[in-house]
Amino acid sequence: MNSTWFRRFTTAAGDGPRLVCFPHAGGSATAFKDLARALPARFDVMSVQYPGRQDRYHEPPFTALAALVEAVAGELTRELAAAPGRPYALFGHSMGALVAFETARLLASRGELPSPQRLFLSGRGGPGTSSLPYHLYDDADVLDDVRRLGGTDQAMLEDPDLLELVLPALRADYRALGTYRWRAGEPLTCAVTALTGDRDPMMKPEDAGTWRAHTTGDFTVKVFPGGHFYLYDQTDRIASAVTEQMLTAAAAA
Which residues are tagged catalytic? 94, 228
Q: Rounded distance, CA 175 to CA 164, Å?
A: 17
The single-letter code of the amino acid at 85 is G
- How many Cβ atoms are within 10 Å of 189's Cβ, its own excluded? 11
Q: Rounded distance, CA 129 to CA 89, Å?
A: 24
Nearest to 68 by CA among 82, 54, 53, 50: 50
212 SS3 class: helix
Going by C-beta distance under 8 Å and a sequence separation of 6 or more, which residues neighbour residue 226?
A: 197, 198, 199, 200, 233, 234
4 SS3 class: coil
Q: What residues form DSSP beta bridges with 193?
A: 120, 220
